[in-house]
């Protein structure tokens, strides 16, 4: 069933049930339907047609849910912009999109860029600003007339993924692709009506946006924060008795670090320490990077009753595989690189360099076929200039099949094991090394919680394998000890020769480690990276 129809149904059956909560701001399903209908009416009037495009640049704000829900009603479309983009990037994206309306805070770079381009700005009404009078005037619009379903094949969402140059690349997602995935939400991700889902990260990124959509589809409550903060997230878990948590692995580590710090503080008699475990949480959904065994163990200690569900996917492909870890399972029992089995309706194939399918156990390029993939890019500067951008921009199709260039292998029983990204291959001394395989091995070592493996220029080897690691195991770590501990996990040529311990990580807004920034830190001797001695 389409999202608009589900919201109408929830508005009739449970109008006072909270749909969206941010801080002190709360909106119930009845009010959400009314306000979303107003947004749909304003967008239709602004565009003069039924498939108007709203560029949504508010970030995590109290009005995000109503703007998003209204923009995608009928045949309407929504482009979800990242409010952290610099002014020049926001302006270039808006110039290429040409939206009918731009929703943003009055003095933000997105709003300023829109005004300079002559695009109409819908003031979002967040942060104490007056609600846009056009929205107020349209509050009489009938939800039953405005929140109508659009056809499966019609595009409803413009998302973005980074390339090596120029603005982020924009891709289309059809209504049918998300309806197909939402249909399996309860089965795959444990989503259900009555859930209280905490999404502490940015709603402008795919993980958060889908979590919001899933909550509204199920008739659950989506709780979010202005931005991720471990202490505020833990407080929200307690205050709202959250039953689900949707995060990237770095957020789980932040929650664990905060909890452990509070536990130490509590031993000194501090009365305001938050609890050390959250038994109300029944499901944890994680994506963006694979959960290492150490983070998995810490997550299970924080959420002792929770099923942990990790999914592997890409912006252009949507969900590919899902891995389910029930409560009490030993996370170290999983084989390195395991990312689960295909999402319902999705087929996975591993191909060799000649494009032919490979037998189980052999590593090649992962191809996907199913109803969830995007409709392709609106623009792609990397493709036009003939570059393999990596980081998601290796997206290409072969008939009904698509890939983003990830490398992996399938087991006999159909589980997928990732080895890395073809564009990220390190060739050292003439030997190919997949960074993902090495990262997986490093995080299986005692006390190492996160690892990023890079290829750095080297006059003799061409590239030298380097790693940046973090976790309590970095205390007293030497390169000689790392070599010894890796002996049972990796051949010698895959053990990093250069090594740093990270005091902190450069993160993207979605919570992933920025490899580009990390390479820059290494090149400039940034003190946030501590060189690990040889012995």
Domain range summary for the chain, segments of one domain joined by +: 176-371+404-422, 425-535
Nearest in space to 183 (alpha carbons), one of 324, 372, 429? 372
| Integer Cα distance of 405 and 388 in angstroms | 10
pLDDT tens for 277-304 read 899 999 999 998 788 888 888 899 999 9
Is residue 170 within 8 A of residue 158, CB to CB? The reply is yes
| Integer Cα distance of 114 and 97 in angstroms | 11
pLDDT tier at 112, thresholds 50, 70, 90:
very high
Burial zone of 400 (CB within 10 Å; 0-12 exposed, 13-18 middle, 19+ buried): exposed
Nearest in space to 328 (alpha carbons), one of 283, 354, 297, 352? 297
| Integer Cα distance of 440 and 419 in angstroms | 9
Query: Which of the four CATH numbers 3.50.50.60, 2.60.40.1180, 3.40.50.12780, 3.40.50.150 does domain 176-371+404-422 have?
Result: 3.40.50.12780
- 233, containing H or E segment: helix 230-239
Which whole number is the average pLDDT over 479-508? Answer: 91
pLDDT tens for 170-207 read 999 999 999 999 999 888 999 999 999 999 999 998 99
pLDDT tens for 268-282 read 555 556 777 899 999
| Integer Cα distance of 369 and 14 in angstroms | 38
Of 334 and 77, more confident: 77
Which whole number is the average pLDDT over 151-161? Answer: 93
Helical packing angle, 3-13 and 64-71, nearest 10°: 130
pTM score, whole prediction: 0.84
Instruction: Give DSSP secondary structure letters for 282-323.
Output: -EEEE-SSPPPHHHHHHHHHHSTTPEEEEEEEETTTEEEEEE
* In this structure, CATH architecture of domain 425-535: 2-Layer Sandwich (3.30)
Nearest in space to 456 (alpha carbons), one of 530, 522, 524? 522
Among all chains, which residue has been given the structure tokens 């399918």?
357
- DSSP conformational letter for 461: T
Burial zone of 405 (CB within 10 Å; 0-12 exposed, 13-18 middle, 19+ buried): buried
pLDDT tier at 124, thresholds 50, 70, 90:
low
Burial call 26-58: b when 16+ CB within 10 Å, e when fewer: ebbbbbbbbbbbbbbbbbbebbeeebbbbbbbb
Residue 419 pLDDT > 60, yes or no? yes
Which whole number is the average pLDDT over 9-28? Answer: 97
CB atoms within 10 A of CB 131: 16
pLDDT tens for 231-259 read 999 999 999 999 999 998 889 988 998 98
Whole-angstrom Cα Rg for the chain: 23
Is residue 65 within 8 A of residue 19, CB to CB? The reply is yes
């Amino acid at each position: 069933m389409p999202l608009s129809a589900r919201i109408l149904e929830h508005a009739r059956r449970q109008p006072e049930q909270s749909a969206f909560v941010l801080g002190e701001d709360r909106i119930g399903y009845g009010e959400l339907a009314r306000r979303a209908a107003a947004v749909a009416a304003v967008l239709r009037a602004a565009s003069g047609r039924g498939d108007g495009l709203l560029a949504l640049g508010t970030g995590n704000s109290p009005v995000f849910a109503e703007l998003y829900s209204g923009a995608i009603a009928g045949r309407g479309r929504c482009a979800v912009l990242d409010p952290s983009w610099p002014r020049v990037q926001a302006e270039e994206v808006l110039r290429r999109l040409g939206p009918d309306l731009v929703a943003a805070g009055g003095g933000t770079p997105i709003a300023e860029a829109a005004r300079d381009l002559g695009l109409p700005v819908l003031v979002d009404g967040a942060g104490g600003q007056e609600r846009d009078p056009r929205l107020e005037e349209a509050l009489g619009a009938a939800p039953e007339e405005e929140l109508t379903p659009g056809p499966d094949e019609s595009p409803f969402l413009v998302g973005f993924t980074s390339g090596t140059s120029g603005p982020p690349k924009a891709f289309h997602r059809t209504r049918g692709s998300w309806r197909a995935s939402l249909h399996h939400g309860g089965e795959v991700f444990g989503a259900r009506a009555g859930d209280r889902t905490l999404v502490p990260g940015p709603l402008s990124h795919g993980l958060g946006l889908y979590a919001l959509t899933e909550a509204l589809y199920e008739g659950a409550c989506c709780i979010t924060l202005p931005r991720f903060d471990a202490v505020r997230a833990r407080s929200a878990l307690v205050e709202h008795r959250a039953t689900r948590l949707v995060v990237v692995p770095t957020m789980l580590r932040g929650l664990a670090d905060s909890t452990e710090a509070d536990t130490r503080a509590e031993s000194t008699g501090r009365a305001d320490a938050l609890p050390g475990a959250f038994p109300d949480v029944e499901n944890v959904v994680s994506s963006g990077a694979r959960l290492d065994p150490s983070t998995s163990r810490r997550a299970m200690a924080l959420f002792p009753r929770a099923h942990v569900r990790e999914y592997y996917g890409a912006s252009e492909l949507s969900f590919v595989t899902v891995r389910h870890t029930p409560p009490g399972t030993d996370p170290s029992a999983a084989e390195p690189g395991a990312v689960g089995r295909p999402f319902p309706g999705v087929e996975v194939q591993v191909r060799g360099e000649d494009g032919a399918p490979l037998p189980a156990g052999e590593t090649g390029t992962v191809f996907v076929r199913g109803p969830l993939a995007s409709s392709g890019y609106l623009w792609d500067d990397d493709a036009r200039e003939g570059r393999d951008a990596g980081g998601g921009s290796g997206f290409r199709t072969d008939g009904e099949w698509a890939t983003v260039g990830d490398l992996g292998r399938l087991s006999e029983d159909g589980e997928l094991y990732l080895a890395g990204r073809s564009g990220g291959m390190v060739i050292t001394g003439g030997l190919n090394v997949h960074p993902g395989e090495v990262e997986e091995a490093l995080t299986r070592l005692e006390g190492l919680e996160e690892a990023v493996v890079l290829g750095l220029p080297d006059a003799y080897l061409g590239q030298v394998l380097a790693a940046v690691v973090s976790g309590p195991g970095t205390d007293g770590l030497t390169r000689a000890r790392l070599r010894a501990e890796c002996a049972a996990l990796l051949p010698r040529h895959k053990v990093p020769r250069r090594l740093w311990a990270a005091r902190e990580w450069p993160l993207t807004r979605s919570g992933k480690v920025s490899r580009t920034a990390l390479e820059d830190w290494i090149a400039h001797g940034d003190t946030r990276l501590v060189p690990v001695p040889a012995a």
